[in-house]
Chains A and B, each alone.
Chain A
Amino acid sequence: DSGVTQTPKHLITATGQRVTLRCSPRSGDLSVYWYQQSLDQGLQFLIQYYNGEERAKGNILERFSAQQFPDLHSELNLSSLELGDSALYFCASSAQQTTGELFFGEGSRLTVL
């Protein structure tokens, strides 16, 4: 158990819909990352927050947005969903802003029908 909690674990929805994925980082970790992993693919970096502020941005679609709240939990919002958005979405956290060691949650598996 990494200490990072993600909900929901599984989510099935229809094209055009909007979903919110939630992440609670390890206790004390200020940095939260979101990654997308499609079937048999690598981990695509979406976005990073540190203590409530956006720190780095990857190839995140405009239909996706995220934020980190004062209690340090983070939410990833996916809207106007398309079939290709079906993937595992991982949240990870770290104590430091720049580190190679991330602690990943179990992921949220999104299926868009």
Chain B
Amino acid sequence: GAVVSQHPSRVICKSGTSVKIECRSLDFQATTMFWYRQFPKQSLMLMATSNEGSKATYEQGVEKDKFLINHASLTLSTLTVTSAHPEDSSFYICSVEGRRHTEAFFGQGTRLTVV
């Protein structure tokens, strides 16, 4: 199966700074990647769909200017949390849809703590 690498796994940053999270598809080219956020003891919430070569599609309530997504190549999507605040502290995870739509492969996740 496909391998998805997400980096970093943990990051602590100061309030007001920006943090970039990378999601790489190692086995195949992914035209679409998904970004999720999970608050403690809650479910994953889809934030946005990252489309290679075009703008990301954001879910309702997700600020596109705060969560910048770049999908510049078929193997890499990045999520940048800009001007991070403590309330942005969360677990962020990316996923890639497999060649068959029945497959989904997930990154290891990034635990962001904003202090």
The judgment on whether A and B are partners is: no
